[in-house]
Amino acid sequence: MKNTSKSSSNASALDRAVEGFLESRRVDAGAADKTIEAYRRDLLQLSAWLSTKSVNCVSETDLNGYISELTHRGHSASSVARKTSAIRQFFLYCVRDLALKENPADRLETPRKPQRLPKFLSNEQVVLLLAAADDGIPYPDALGEHLRARDRAMLYLLYASGLRVSELVGISVHDFDLSLGYLRITGKGDKQRITPFAPVAGERLREFLEGHRPALKPQTDHVFVNYRGQALTRQAFWKILKLLASQAGLTPDISPHVLRHSFATHLMQSGINLRSLQVLLGHSDLSTTQIYTHVTPAYLKSAHRKFHPRGGS
């Protein structure tokens, strides 16, 4: 009974520390409500587990045992990684703000997530998609011609520059130079980069800007607007892309990010170096870009057989 009472007391102290940590995340880090709730669930789950084990002083062994048990229970690698991250941040808070002498999560390893190779379109599929954009969606509207020119410019520009969809819809009339074929993009973390685009995309963009955008009576500096003249949303572009993919006879699971992956993969297949691709994609870490080295082996093998003097022997 005595051990149960002591364990309960320790659990209560841990729960209070968790609440302090959550308040710290909310006030000092400006964490969103959903993030706070995820932290709360993960840490209270740990507290409950420690209580069942009658743990009085949390050790590295305890935490490794907990992570191991989560894995054996069938939790996904992503779920375990998220919980591990929450635990590490919590104990850092305990050391910094609650004067905990030793951090039991200091060497806690985050399980590796299985690497998912990005989906991308073949060159032939991109040709079909762009042809569908050239034909356009049959909008039942007097503005249909202008909307089709907008869709065409967006799709060509997305594939020509590898933008994120948020970057695409966020482009302002002040963000590009058509004569030089460059865009100034504001990406994640408000980081800016300059990215080029192909002449054919520039032609579609010029056509829309000069011959069609004014007819939509834009009420914003955003290049791409809807039929009311307001900035087009990411969700609206997703719907446009799915309609065009359907017209092209392609699978309905095509997303703007699939086009971004296609842009990157096709450049890798053409021999671009990884550092240049990193800059074009706006990746802050080269390790993020390195995934594209794993999606080209089949192409490289085919090219080797075709072009190497002894490739087919």
Please tell me the distance from the alpha carbon of residue 7 to that of residue 179, in angstroms, as a whole number: 71
| 143 and 267 share one domain | yes
- Is 80 exceeded by the pLDDT of residue 293? no
Concerning whether 306 is annotated as a catalytic residue, the answer is no
Residue with tokens 């800016």: 192
Specify if 71 maps to a domain: yes
The domain boundary, picked from 61, 81, 97, lies at 97
Concerning whether 112 is annotated as a catalytic residue, the answer is no
How does pLDDT run across 130-170, given as a tens digit for each residue? 999 999 999 988 999 999 999 999 999 999 999 999 999 99
Specify if 25 maps to a domain: yes
Concerning whether 266 is annotated as a catalytic residue, the answer is no
Concerning whether 292 is annotated as a catalytic residue, the answer is yes
Concerning whether 116 is annotated as a catalytic residue, the answer is no
Specify if 118 maps to a domain: no
Residue type, 248: A
Q: Give the CATH number for residue 73.
A: 1.10.150.130
Running DSSP on this structure, what letter comes out for residue 295? S
Specify if 26 maps to a domain: yes
Which residue in the list 88, 213, 266, 283 is annotated as catalytic? 283
Alpha-carbon distances, residue 200 vs 115, 176, 204, 206 (angstroms): 35, 15, 6, 10
| 127 and 238 share one domain | yes
Specify if 239 maps to a domain: yes
* Predicted local confidence at residue 77, as pLDDT: 83
Domain encompassing residue 48: 2-97
CB-CB contact of 50 with 62 (8 Å) = yes
Domains held by the chain: number: 2
Which residue in the list 83, 148, 164, 222 is annotated as catalytic? 164
Consecutive H or E run containing 176: strand 176-177
| 39 and 84 share one domain | yes
| 238 and 279 share one domain | yes
| 40 and 153 share one domain | no
Which residue in the list 212, 260, 261, 266 is annotated as catalytic? 260
Q: Which two tokens stand for residue 105?
A: 């999560």
Percent of residues, the chain, with pLDDT higher than 90: 50
| 220 and 143 share one domain | yes
Residue type, 108: L
Percent of residues, the chain, with pLDDT higher than 70: 88
Specify if 116 maps to a domain: no
Torsion on CA atoms 199, 201, 202, 207, rounded to nearest 10: 130
**What pTM was computed for the model?**
0.61
Specify if 312 maps to a domain: no
| 296 and 186 share one domain | yes
Please tell me the distance from the alpha carbon of residue 281 to that of residue 140, in angstroms, as a whole number: 36
Specify if 13 maps to a domain: yes
Determine how β-strand 182-186 pairs with β-strand 176-177: antiparallel
Please tell me the distance from the alpha carbon of residue 218 to that of residue 229, in angstroms, as a whole number: 4
How does pLDDT run across 242-279, given as a tens digit for each residue? 999 999 999 878 899 899 999 988 888 888 888 888 88
| 93 and 167 share one domain | no
